[in-house]
Amino acid sequence: MDVVANNLANASTAGYRAADTIQRAFPEMLIHRVEKLDWQAGPSRVVIGGLGLGATIDGTYTNFTPGALRSTGNPLDMALLEPDVFFTVVTEDGVRYTRNGSFQLNANGELVTSQGHQILGTRGPIRINGTKIDIDATGFVYVDDVVVDRLLITTFAAPEMLQREASQYFQAEPAAGPLEAALFTVAQGQLEQSNVNVVKELVKMINVQRAYEASQKAVRAADDTLGKLVNELNV
């Protein structure tokens, strides 16, 4: 339910990648019925079926399917057309990666995220001292028609190893295999929307709630049965 609620809360967040859970079922057990007690052979047991013991959450994974593009007309808004490449950001905790291309300028004229973290170019943080800003499809940044840097776009050998963090950032462990992307396309003045399917998430939320209520009833029934057994069984 936490994962579904977080997806719905970020349905309108630019560049957000939906998360889902990995579920693992517990081993099934056989149920036996004791037919009768034989003083020589012992009780007779008859298999009457299997008993599922439910499932547990084994982790979460990220859906990297690209979202739709929305035109904003803002020269500081950018979208990446390829689904497996990321903008590179430097934070207090180190380098991070994001698909959210809603950028702005700070007081020092640096290109930053909405959280104030610097966007990296191939030469370091991108500084813009001028009035006219253009970013071409290959990521080169022009200020007043002069090239100042190129966006540092990163891809990964194993994107499934990326660790999701707050503020729509991803952290790359060495196993993810980060490397500078050679082929990518930047769309200036556009933002990639969240890839959350609101209808599917609402249906999933209803199913999760119903499953939780069913589990509550099963636990309550087992508790009532044990209570009756304790109160009425004569030993």
State the pLDDT at residue 23: 82
Give mean pLDDT, residues 91-108. Answer: 95
Cβ contact 98:152 at 8 Å:
no
- pLDDT tens by residue, 114-153: 999 999 999 999 999 988 999 999 999 999 999 999 999 9
State the pLDDT at residue 100: 95
Of 124, 127, 95, 96, residue with least CA distance to 111: 127
What does the radius of gyration of the chain's CA atoms come to, in whole angstroms? Answer: 27
For residue 107, the one-letter residue type is A
C-alpha distances out from residue 201 to 20, 55, 168, Å = 10, 20, 19
Residue 151, C-beta contacts closer than 8 angstroms, at least 6 positions apart: 78, 87, 88, 119, 121, 122, 126, 135, 139, 140, 141, 186
State the pLDDT at residue 45: 73
Q: Is the dihedral of CA 203, 208, 210, 211 positive or negative?
A: positive
In this model, does residue 232 exceed pLDDT 90?
Answer: no
Give mean pLDDT, residues 103-112. Answer: 95
- pLDDT tens by residue, 176-205: 999 999 999 999 999 999 999 999 999 999
